Amino acid sequence: AQKITQTQPGMFVQEKEAVTLDCTYDTSDQSYGLFWYKQPSSGEMIFLIYQGSYDEQNATEGRYSLNFQKARKSANLVISASQLGDSAMYFCAMRDNTDKLIFGTGTRLQVFP
């Protein structure tokens, strides 16, 4: 069965430091996509970054980068130079072969001054 695992319920990071949020996935499909979303307390899911299973280079979007290790089935999110506004829930998700998203349980990130 396809599954996303986020083992860190909560993470703390000091402002301006980098932080890595872990995500591992399980699938037997050869073609799949991996997403990271940020969910502030308002509830909206904000798209951060996408990695396709055939993409050879790690995806980057501004301060966000995805450390994609296909053999290990991991897709960790790296946030560089954390800001107070980065405090939120972060969800890793996988697009399965029916095109629906399967989400992990999320990691609550708190950035402190």
Partner 1 sequence: KAGVTQTPRYLIKTRGQQVTLSCSPISGHRSVSWYQQTPGQGLQFLFEYFSETQRNKGNFPGRFSGRQFSNSRSEMNVSTLELGDSALYLCASSRAGATNEQFFGPGTRLTVL
Closer residue to partner 1 in complex, CB, 13/32: 32
**Minimum CB distance to partner 1, residue 108 (Å):** 12
Closer residue to partner 1 in complex, CB, 13/38: 38
Residues that bind partner 1 (CB under 8 A): 33, 35, 37, 42-47, 50, 52, 91, 93, 95, 98-106
**Minimum CB distance to partner 1, residue 45 (Å):** 4
CA angle (35 as vertex; 19, 65 as ends), nearest 5: 35
Residues sharing a CB contact under 8 Å with residue 4, sequence separation 6 or more, in sequence order: 23, 24, 25, 26, 92, 93, 94, 102, 103, 104
Under a CB-based contact definition with an 8 Å cutoff, are residues 93 and 35 in contact? yes
Between the two ends of the chain, the Cα-to-Cα distance in Å is: 41
**Minimum CB distance to partner 1, residue 25 (Å):** 15
CB atoms within 10 A of CB 45: 15
Closer residue to partner 1 in complex, CB, 18/46: 46
**Minimum CB distance to partner 1, residue 17 (Å):** 28
Closer residue to partner 1 in complex, CB, 56/99: 99
